[in-house]
Amino acid sequence: MPFNAYIFDLDGTVYLGDALLPTARETILELRSRRARTVFLSNNPAHTRFDYAQKLTRLGLPTSPQDIINSSMVMADFLKRNHALARHYIIGERPLINELREASLILADEGDADSVIVSFDRTFTYHKLQRAFDLIRGGAHFFATNADVYCPTPHGGEPDAGSLIAAIETCTGKKCEAVVGKPSRYMIEAILNILNLPPDQCLITGDRLETDVQMGINAGMATALTLTGATNRQAAEKSSVKPNFILEKLSDLL
Ligand SMILES: [Mg+2]
């Protein structure tokens, strides 16, 4: 195989909702049979690595949690390294909160906090916006798991963390200081740590130019854009972000 490791985005690349995309299963099984490593990335912090591994396994792609990297895991690692003793206010869902608790980080539902962590949150309320506004104007750090504006679903999409970041940036006048998901260097470090390979032996495939492909370019990896998700061919041709390959379906990789 031309590459030793194949890194796949999940939503819009390997599956959409609860169904694998056409040719995803046979392509990934074929790569594995040719002894290539396959790992999976998600910017979506609403599920744990275990959930993703279970879902892929149930859909016919047996996968271990060690081969999954998502933005909540990268956030836990980022906070442990840089803000281990701080108190964090989380705008996010249960799986993210659990991941941060398991990393022994201190979470502050009420009262003072040193940082506000913004994420995909379908339980977002005016109260949470007010709390983020008060804390950040009082000097708290402002970090986010991911900056996707929406997550594609079989019915269209769901507003994602990017839209909540925009709301908080607008009312506070402060820019989010770090987004740890794709295409950040924190995510790249997590991937290279797991693979233990030089970047030029890796190919990353995803459905978004500004996250998946941009991160691969930043990391010095080969990149493939698949047209099965958020990006169509016209958008790909207009963009200044240029992947090495454009795929109609995942089996074009073979
Ligand atoms: Mg995607």
pLDDT digits over 12-43, tens only? 999 998 999 999 999 999 999 999 999 999 98
Mean residue pLDDT across the chain: 95
State the Cα angle at 230 between 23 and 202, rounded to 5°. 60
H-run or E-run covering 183: none
Q: What is the mean pLDDT of residues 152-163?
A: 89
Q: How far is the CA of 205 from the centre of ligand 1 (A)?
A: 9
Q: Band of the pLDDT at 156, cuts 50, 70, 90?
A: confident
Q: What is the mean pLDDT of residues 44-72?
A: 94
Q: How far is the CA of 208 from the centre of ligand 1 (A)?
A: 6
Q: Band of the pLDDT at 97, cuts 50, 70, 90?
A: very high
Name the nearest CA neighbour of 115 among 142, 92, 151, 91.
Answer: 142
Q: How far is the CA of 201 from the centre of ligand 1 (A)?
A: 22
Type of residue at 77: D
Q: How far is the CA of 49 from the centre of ligand 1 (A)?
A: 16
Name the nearest CA neighbour of 107 among 119, 177, 159.
Answer: 119
Q: What's the pLDDT score for residue 17?
A: 85
Q: What percent of the chain has pLDDT over 90?
A: 90
Q: How far is the CA of 187 from the centre of ligand 1 (A)?
A: 15
Q: Do the bridges between strand 178-179 and strand 37-42 make them parallel or antiparallel, or are there none, so unpaired?
A: unpaired
Q: How far is the CA of 137 from the centre of ligand 1 (A)?
A: 33
Q: What share of the chain is helix, strand, coil (3-state, %, to 5)?
A: 40, 20, 35
Q: What's the pLDDT score for residue 121?
A: 97
pLDDT digits over 105-124, tens only? 999 999 999 999 999 999 99
**Spatial separation of the C-alpha atoms in residues 46 and 87, rounded to whole Å:** 21
Name the nearest CA neighbour of 104 among 91, 85, 82.
Answer: 85
Q: What's the pLDDT score for residue 44?
A: 86
Which of 157 and 241 is assigned the larger pLDDT? 241
Q: Band of the pLDDT at 154, cuts 50, 70, 90?
A: confident
Judged against a pLDDT cut of 80, whether residue 152 lies above it is answered with: no
Q: How far is the CA of 159 from the centre of ligand 1 (A)?
A: 14
Q: What is the mean pLDDT of residues 219-228?
A: 98
Domains and CATH numbers, the chain: 72-179 (3.40.50.1000)
Q: At what angle do helices 94-102 and 71-82 cross, to 10 degrees?
A: 40
Q: Band of the pLDDT at 153, cuts 50, 70, 90?
A: confident
Judged against a pLDDT cut of 80, whether residue 1 lies above it is answered with: no
Q: How far is the CA of 41 from the centre of ligand 1 (A)?
A: 9
Would you give the DSSP letter of residue 130?
A: H
Q: What's the pLDDT score for residue 198?
A: 96
Q: How far is the CA of 16 from the centre of ligand 1 (A)?
A: 9
**Spatial separation of the C-alpha atoms in residues 212 and 96, rounded to whole Å:** 21
Q: Which tokens in the block code for residue 174?
A: 């402060």
Q: What's the pLDDT score for residue 90?
A: 98
Q: How far is the CA of 30 from the centre of ligand 1 (A)?
A: 22
Which residues, in sequence order, are bridge partners of residue 19? 16
Q: How far is the CA of 60 from the centre of ligand 1 (A)?
A: 19
Judged against a pLDDT cut of 90, whether residue 151 lies above it is answered with: no
Q: How far is the CA of 113 from the centre of ligand 1 (A)?
A: 32
Q: What is the mean pLDDT of residues 177-195?
A: 94
CB 35 within 8 A of CB 86: no
Could you tell me how far CA 92 lies from the centroid of its own chain? 14
Q: How far is the CA of 10 from the centre of ligand 1 (A)?
A: 6
Q: How far is the CA of 236 from the centre of ligand 1 (A)?
A: 15
Q: What's the pLDDT score for residue 155?
A: 87
Q: Which residues surround ligand 1, an ion (CB under 5 A)?
A: 9, 11-12, 207
